[in-house]
Amino acid sequence: MQKTTNKRGAFIAFEGIDGSGKSTQITLLKQRLQREGIKCYTTCEPTDSPIGSLIHQIMTGRVLSDNKVIAALFVADRLDHLLNPTNGIYAKIMDGTSVISDRYYFSSYAYHSVDMPMDWVIDANSQSAEILRPSVTIFVDVNPDNALKRIAKTRFHPELFETRERLVSVREKYFEAFEKLKDVENVLIVDGEKEEHILEAEIWEKIKAYFAH
Ligand code: TYD
């Protein structure tokens, strides 16, 4: 693929278990970039494309499907997120816009490898990794019990007990994926238990160099 300018935007992927508070950090980083005059675009996975909508329908139980199918749909959703001719993030980054994504392929590595081999999930996502690796993946780490408390405060959640086990194993899978890919991926693990503005300042100090032109 052709670069349209030599000033590439940065690509920041936020990761974390549900209830980690990453959305707050994304909002704060976006505000910081706006104050600094850095052009940025925030987005998320699953996307709101037709593929993303199908994923949402499966995840909310309106459409029934196997976990392997969901994992494959996330692969397709991610490629569309990158390459869609209307709002694909690859073209934005090549044009000099920095992109912040709420979740990217490490979510697949962590969430789907609970049910299937992680290597399968990594291989299935290899095209996305070839097209666009994050400048940095920021993992907002929280204790699953505290994540559950946050989820309970903000959302209706009928199966809290089952969810705890899932959060614990997804968090472990994230760490397994970071270890497995430590030679090729740039991962920043931050303490999501910190006060949100203190954490925002700490993240900014560590990533601001990626936005230097
Ligand atoms: P959503 O409520 O949209 O976002 P969040 O929890 O980040 O606020 O739910 C996204 C869910 O999708 C979340 O539980 C993680 C899951 N997920 C996967 O299972 N695989 C993936 O590849 C991605 C990107 C997300």
**What pLDDT, in 10s, does the model give residues 29-69?**
999 999 999 999 999 999 999 999 999 999 989 999 999 99
Pocket test for ligand 1, best of 111, 137, 142 (most atoms within 8 A of CB): 111
CA of 77 to the centre of ligand 1 (A): 12
Cβ–ligand 1 contact at 108 (below 6 Å): yes
pLDDT at 4 over 50: no
Cβ–ligand 1 contact at 107 (below 6 Å): yes
The pLDDT tens digits of the residues spanning 151-173 come to 888 776 655 566 889 999 999 99
Tell me what the pLDDT averaged over the chain comes to: 93
The pLDDT tens digits of the residues spanning 78-136 come to 999 999 999 999 999 999 999 999 999 999 999 999 889 999 999 999 999 999 999 99
CB 71 within 8 A of CB 46: no
CA of 45 to the centre of ligand 1 (A): 7
Q: Which pair of structure tokens corresponds to residue 23?
A: 């959305």
The pLDDT tens digits of the residues spanning 197-211 come to 999 999 999 999 999
Peptide bond into 46 cis (omega under 30): yes
Task: Give the model's pLDDT for residue 42.
Answer: 98
Cβ–ligand 1 contact at 103 (below 6 Å): yes
Cβ–ligand 1 contact at 15 (below 6 Å): no
Closest-CA residue, ligand 1 atom 5, reads 18
Task: Give the model's pLDDT for residue 3.
Answer: 45
| pLDDT bucket at 6, cuts 50 / 70 / 90 | low
CB 103 within 8 A of CB 153: no
